[in-house]
Homo-oligomer: A and B are copies of this chain.
């Protein structure tokens, strides 16, 4: 299971003093980008390769707010199903033992003209080895 962590940025907070809900979607993306980078797969993706994982859908459920002083950890799983790639995420704050939010994004590989394209071989092979557990935090 891929793990990504970083501190909260101050500009991610809103007037309630918590991370604005739209920024969880950006946090999911930061986690996906780190996943490609740390698995040496960045060269299968824009800008090194004419493929980007277009977003078909996003969802996120919130249980607890995140605060500026929090450090966050994201657990992520990936699953390839024909042309679609599913990522699911569980976000933890250092201050809680349970996930503060869960989410999922679904993607399809497209080229720079937004036509659906094949996944680069190495990325495809890597995704096929990923585990998608029955239960999820």
Contacts and interface: CB of A to CB of B under 8 A. Distances in A.
Given A33-B10, A42-B69, A47-B68, A55 B21 contact: yes
A29 interface: yes
B59 A59 contact: yes
A55 to B, nearest CB: 4
A96 B59 CA distance: 24
A14 B16 contact: no
A21 B57 CA distance: 9
A19 to B, nearest CB: 9
Interface of A: 7, 9-11, 13-18, 20-23, 25-26, 29-30, 33, 37, 42, 46-48, 52, 54-62, 65, 67-69, 112, 114
Given A15-B17, A54-B62, 13 more contacts: A9-B33, A11-B20, A11-B29, A15-B18, A17-B47, A22-B23, A22-B29, A25-B58, A47-B68, A48-B69, A57-B61, A57-B62, A58-B60
